[in-house]
């Protein structure tokens, strides 16, 4: 039977590209997001894919979805946490609850995903858990007060899980995207920028697929990607 | 009038040492912790100090306490967030709620403290917000899954606030303690260790007092301290 | 015509594995090392490969070799600096000259390689410069005083070159190997260790090949690799 | 007898400020730089100070000077390596030898200073070695190719020495200055900038003096300083 990949945050950009990449690479794909319509459309494109509308910030909803996936498709080989709660504004601008809510999506959902999937993967001989992040995971700019702390927490939680599960054959990795992703709303927002300014979801998905299949003799934890012209 | 320092997490170790150090340095001190008895005893030692029993993870309680402090003592010159929610165990061992609860104490309470105090400090010409942390702020060891993510988030939130408020005259700093602190329970737990193994609360407090008074031409954000013999 | 890869430090481990991997991937390979015999033997295995015995710490020798390669095989598409000068011992143990000598091999040779190759690559539409390192590039342990500083310098020089040449289509990357590499002398030195303890040269070479061919929309600068069971 | 501080790089800015600060703090001061006149003038200001014109990139000259200091003034309690070799330009712009020459000043001179002084300090019950750096120690910007690698190497060498000598009572610290220092030539170069833009040599010297006297229960290795308005 084909291996199963579970992907959260399957919106129009990275998540959909990852679903397509893993599907093309021989995986069945369970897709999680809040928006049912988009998932249904994507699922229509790909046989052996499952649309699982879910709010990952609601742990009961998330765990219910995961159990349903397991019933329909078995244990996953790969889990990708790409869902993200974001915010813009300095610490005075933001509503305090925004930081808490982003923590639920970015960190608590990862904890629940890992607790649910890691033992199942280990029992079946291994697997990979990949988390997508950005430079907020290593740096707190003034206007990312409601977001950056949760990405830093997410990276450190992933690192903590990686150290526990590596020796048990589970590869946990953090893919840090240092660029503006090419999706409709960023194209709108950065209209004046050339095509090369944007990192392509397909390129991100390709790197995620690579990481998920590194030989266990040479695993990466933190991988950064940025377009060739990025000023970093 | 003597300047005011507000300190959270005034337990038997670092918090009490900081209260004493700032008091000795000419500050009135408002001390926050959950345990009323200890605060009362400390307050008895020091004129111009206030015992403010509070659960910092409860934002209404915290904000109420801060308003009460303001009424009694005016705006603070220094705020130190030393309260900490901790946990031990890998991501499978811990109860998921523990991570969330530690986030409330370590991160959300800092956000509330900063939102409440920074504008008041800026209005009065400046001040300092100091946060105490440890190496979990930069590293996720396997058995710190319920704790390290929240300290990383705390460091990044502090950095974000520092970048916003620095130009407005508020010095935000993160004091990273890379050692076991000398308090009764750690002495019990590491009985076989020599005295030099433990970092002294008084030495930490001294460094915090130094940071709070650096000339504004040369401010530190991240300061690490460890005993001379520490293996790092 | 097949693209050309130039690789320094082609000894029995990573360098030879990289030569084989790029050769298998359709490259002609120019191999640089001090030991002529080993290069000759490897070259005998692979058509379209060149044995170029050279001391990379001697800039005249290195530049002469590079010019000779260019005459025979044209400009490179990929340059890999894998040659390494090492040392063991704390700052009092080592002969001071050891640090200087390692600087010549690890840093000055990279500077010469990049100055010679980057403009040629840019003129031909792009290319990749990959440097292999290890955790000494980010950390100075006591017994690596004669080595770690030069790897840190190497990483930062590579970063500086990456920032300059990225927008010109040259991908500069640093591949940080956090493990003991599986070569005869390490097997001898760590006899009691299981096979999984060692990182495989083939796995490192595979990652280098991947990095050299990342789409330019998603380039990595720093990539770390370690075996699944590594304690980090 | 008053303790002795040896300071390299005593030019018009940080070095002179440090000499004055340690002198004011009760030290005899041995001042090292290439320019004899300036040292003589400074020495004229301060009794118990020694002008020692020396090229620190010449190890024989440096070691000769150190031995002469020892003969005149005994073993040092504090050594500060503030001499710096700099350069501006990307890896193609610079003359390759510039990188090597900066390595001699920034790294090899530190190695010689530490090898000469650390055993003497340990024999007399302790001391401090402080190195001044800047953000090039952690980051390679394109136009710092001839400089940043050597500061990164310097930081990592200092770290390696710190780990070896800490348990023997020698405090090694790296003081990272993230700003433009207020000296005549930077005032000329950044004419349009307000006074607050520049970090004051006196403030840097104050921090160095603080670090040199931290209680051994709470030593810092890396300390960063920047003006309150710095954009970081």
Q: How do residues D144-179 score in pLDDT, each as one tens digit?
A: 999 999 999 999 999 999 999 999 999 999 999 999
Put simply, whether D87 touches C (Cβ < 8 Å) is no
What pTM was computed for the model? 0.98
Secondary structure (H, E, C), chain B? CCCEEEEECCCCCHHHHHHHHHHHCCCEEEEEECCHHHHHHHHHHCCCEEEEECCCCCHHHHHHHHHHHHHHHCCCCEEEECCCCCCCECCCCCCHHHHHHHHHHHHHHHHHHHHHHHHHHHHCCCEEEEEEEEHHHCCCCCCECCCHHHHHHHHHHHHHHHHHHHHHCEEEEEEEECCEECCHHHHHHCCCCCHHHEECHHHHHHHHHHHHCCCCCCECCEEEEECCCCCC
DSSP letters spanning A20-84: HHHHHTT-EEEEEES-HHHHHHHHHHSTTEEEEE--TTSHHHHHHHHHHHHHHH-S-SEEEE---
Name residue, tokens 């920047």.
Answer: D226
Q: What's the confidence (pLDDT) of residue A56?
A: 98
**Residues of chain D found within 8 Å of residue C142, distances taken between Cβ atoms:** 160-161, 163-164
Between helix C59-73 and helix C109-123 the angle, nearest 10°, is: 30
**Residues of chain D found within 8 Å of residue B166, distances taken between Cβ atoms:** 228-230
Q: Which helix (H) or strand (E) holds A135?
A: none
Return the beta strands (E) in D110-201 as ranges: 127-134, 170-177, 180-181, 198-199
Distance CA C215, CA B223 (A): 40
The tokens for B42 are 């400390």
Are B123 and B75 in contact, with CB atoms under 8 Å apart?
yes
Residue C174 has phi, psi (to 5 degrees) of -120, 120
Choose the closest CB to C220 out of A214, A225, A229.
Answer: A225
Cβ neighbours of residue C45 closer than 8 Å, sequence gap 6 or more? C20
Contact check, Cβ <8 Å, B217/D196: yes
Q: Which of residues 26-55 of D touch B (CB under 8 A)?
A: none
- Cα angle A79, A80, A85; round to 5: 135
Q: Per-residue pLDDT for A77 more than 90?
A: yes
Q: Mean pLDDT across the stretch D33-51?
A: 96
Nearest chain A residue to B119, by CA:
A92
The tokens for C4 are 């050309």
**Residues of chain C found within 8 Å of residue D121, distances taken between Cβ atoms:** none
Distance CA B165, CA B126 (A): 9
Contact check, Cβ <8 Å, B108/A100: yes
Q: Beta-carbon neighbour count of residue A210 at 10 Å?
A: 18
The tokens for C73 are 């095989």
Distance CA C33, CA C17 (A): 14
Choose the closest CB to C145 out of D104, D149, D161.
Answer: D161
Q: B151-174: per-residue pLDDT in tens? A: 999 999 999 999 999 999 999 999
**Residues of chain A found within 8 Å of residue C201, distances taken between Cβ atoms:** none
Q: What's the confidence (pLDDT) of residue B212?
A: 98
Put simply, whether D153 touches C (Cβ < 8 Å) is yes
Q: What's the confidence (pLDDT) of residue A98?
A: 98
Put simply, whether C91 touches D (Cβ < 8 Å) is yes
Are B4 and B76 in contact, with CB atoms under 8 Å apart?
yes
Mean pLDDT for chain D overall: 97
Distance CA D106, CA C59 (A): 22
Contact check, Cβ <8 Å, C152/D155: yes
Q: Which subunits count as partners of chain B given 3+ CB pairs below 8 Å?
A: A, D
Put simply, whether B125 touches D (Cβ < 8 Å) is no
Q: Mean pLDDT across the stretch C204-219?
A: 98
Contact check, Cβ <8 Å, B230/D171: no
Put simply, whether D155 touches B (Cβ < 8 Å) is no
Distance CA D92, CA D158 (A): 29
Q: How many residues does chain C have?
A: 232
Contact check, Cβ <8 Å, C214/A207: yes
Q: Whole-angstrom distance between the N-terminal and C-terminal Cα of chain C?
A: 43
Q: Mean pLDDT across the stretch D194-206?
A: 97
| Coil, strand or helix at C228 | coil
Q: Please give the biggest Cα pair distance in chain A.
A: 52
Contact check, Cβ <8 Å, D160/C59: no
Distance CA A57, CA A39 (A): 18
Q: How far is CA B56 from CA A103, A105, B59, B159, D152, in A?
A: 18, 23, 6, 21, 41
Test mutation, B101, B157, B158, B165, chain A, max A CBs within 10 A: B157
**Residues of chain A found within 8 Å of residue C128, distances taken between Cβ atoms:** none
Nearest chain A residue to B106, by CA:
A149
Test mutation, A85, A105, A142, A153, chain B, max B CBs within 10 A: A153
Q: What's the confidence (pLDDT) of residue A1?
A: 86
Are D137 and C118 in contact, with CB atoms under 8 Å apart?
no
Banded model confidence at residue B1, pLDDT cuts 50, 70, 90: confident
Question: What totals of helices (H) and strands (E) does chain A contain, helices first?
Answer: 8, 9
Q: Would the CA dihedral through B159, B161, B162, B163 be positive or negative?
A: positive
Banded model confidence at residue C1, pLDDT cuts 50, 70, 90: confident
Q: B176-221: per-residue pLDDT in tens? A: 999 999 999 999 999 999 999 999 999 999 999 999 999 999 999 9
Q: C59-86: per-residue pLDDT in tens? A: 999 999 999 999 999 999 999 999 999 9
Nearest chain C residue to A126, by CA:
C228
Q: How far is CA C15 from CA A173, C20, D213, in A?
A: 26, 9, 48
Distance CA B118, CA B126 (A): 8
Are C75 and C32 in contact, with CB atoms under 8 Å apart?
no
Choose the closest CB to A224 out of C196, C216, C220.
Answer: C220
Q: Beta-carbon neighbour count of residue B202 at 10 Å?
A: 18
Choose the closest CB to B161 out of A118, A145, A161.
Answer: A145
Pairing of strands D127-134, D170-177: parallel
Pairing of strands A4-8, A28-33: parallel
Distance CA D63, CA D60 (A): 5
- Cα angle A141, A144, A150; round to 5: 110
Are B84 and B132 in contact, with CB atoms under 8 Å apart?
yes
| Coil, strand or helix at D129 | strand
Contact check, Cβ <8 Å, B96/A114: no
Q: What's the confidence (pLDDT) of residue D144?
A: 98
Distance CA C88, CA C189 (A): 14
Distance CA C154, CA C174 (A): 9
Contact check, Cβ <8 Å, D228/B171: yes
Q: What's the confidence (pLDDT) of residue C8?
A: 98
Q: B69-122: per-residue pLDDT in tens? A: 999 999 999 999 999 999 999 999 999 999 999 999 999 999 999 999 999 999
Choose the closest CB to D218 out of B171, B204, B231.
Answer: B204
Choose the closest CB to A207 out of C206, C218, C230.
Answer: C218
Cβ neighbours of residue D23 closer than 8 Å, sequence gap 6 or more? D29, D46, D48, D49
The tokens for B82 are 């030393």
Banded model confidence at residue C57, pLDDT cuts 50, 70, 90: very high
Contact check, Cβ <8 Å, A228/C171: yes
In angstroms, what separates the C-alpha of B90 from chain A's closest C-alpha?
7
Put simply, whether A230 touches C (Cβ < 8 Å) is yes
Put simply, whether C148 touches D (Cβ < 8 Å) is yes
Q: Per-residue pLDDT for A197 more than 90?
A: yes
Mean pLDDT for chain A overall: 97
Are D22 and D209 in contact, with CB atoms under 8 Å apart?
yes
Test mutation, A212, A228, A229, A230, chain C, max C CBs within 10 A: A228
Distance CA B132, CA B84 (A): 9
Nearest chain B residue to D162, by CA:
B228
Are C142 and D163 in contact, with CB atoms under 8 Å apart?
yes
In angstroms, what separates the C-alpha of A137 from chain B's closest C-alpha?
8
Name residue, tokens 């030539």.
Answer: D185
Q: A18-60: per-residue pLDDT in tens? A: 999 999 999 999 999 999 999 999 999 999 999 999 999 999 9
Put simply, whether A88 touches B (Cβ < 8 Å) is no
In angstroms, what separates the C-alpha of D189 from chain C's closest C-alpha?
24
Distance CA C49, CA B87 (A): 57
Q: Mean pLDDT across the stretch D9-24?
A: 97
**CB-count burial class (<10 Å; 0-12, 13-18, 19+) for B183:** middle
Put simply, whether B138 touches D (Cβ < 8 Å) is no
Distance CA D229, CA B165 (A): 9
**Residues of chain A found within 8 Å of residue B108, distances taken between Cβ atoms:** 96, 99-100
Q: How far is CA D125 from CA A174, B225, D122, D169, D221, in A?
A: 46, 21, 5, 7, 19
Nearest chain A residue to C198, by CA:
A217
Q: Which subunits count as partners of chain D given 3+ CB pairs below 8 Å?
A: B, C
Mean pLDDT for chain C overall: 97
**Residues of chain D found within 8 Å of residue B217, distances taken between Cβ atoms:** 196, 198-200, 203, 227-228
| Interface contacts (B, D; CB < 8 Å) | 93
Q: How far is CA B65 from CA B11, B16, B50, B73, B107, in A?
A: 17, 19, 11, 12, 18
Distance CA D37, CA D28 (A): 19
Distance CA B76, CA A155 (A): 34
Are A111 and B94 in contact, with CB atoms under 8 Å apart?
no
Contact check, Cβ <8 Å, D215/B226: no
**Residues of chain D found within 8 Å of residue C97, distances taken between Cβ atoms:** none
Choose the closest CB to B145 out of A99, A148, A160.
Answer: A160
Q: Mean pLDDT across the stretch D113-117?
A: 98
Put simply, whether A222 touches C (Cβ < 8 Å) is yes
Q: C136-189: per-residue pLDDT in tens? A: 999 999 999 999 999 999 999 999 999 999 999 999 999 999 999 999 999 999
Q: Please give the biggest Cα pair distance in chain D.
A: 52
Distance CA B18, CA B5 (A): 10
């Amino acid at each position: 039977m084909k291996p199963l990949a579970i992907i959260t945050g399957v919106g129009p950009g990275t998540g959909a590209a990852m679903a397509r990449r893993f599907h093309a690479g021989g995986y069945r794909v369970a897709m999680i997001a809040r928006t049912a319509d988009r998932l249904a459309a994507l699922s229509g494109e790909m046989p052996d894919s499952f649309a699982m509308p879910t709010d990952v910030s609601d742990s009961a909803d998330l765990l219910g979805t995961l159990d349903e996936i397991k019933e329909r498709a078995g244990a996953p080989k790969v889990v990708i946490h790409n869902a993200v709660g974001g915010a813009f504004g300095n610490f005075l601008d933001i509503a305090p609850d925004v930081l808490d809510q982003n923590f639920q999506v970015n960190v608590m959902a990862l904890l629940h995903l890992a607790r649910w999937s890691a033992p199942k993967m280990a029992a079946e001989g291994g697997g990979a858990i990949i988390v997508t992040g950005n430079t907020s995971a290593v740096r707190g700019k003034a206007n990312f007060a409601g977001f950056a702390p949760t990405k830093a927490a997410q990276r450190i939680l992933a690192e903590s899980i990686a150290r526990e599960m590596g020796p048990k054959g589970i590869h946990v990795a953090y893919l840090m995207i240092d660029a503006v992703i090419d999706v409709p709303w960023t194209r709108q927002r950065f209209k004046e920028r050339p095509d090369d300014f944007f990192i392509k979801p397909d390129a991100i998905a390709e790197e995620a697929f690579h990481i998920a299949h590194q030989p266990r003799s040479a695993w990466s934890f933190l991988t950064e990607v940025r377009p060739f012209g990025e000023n970093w």
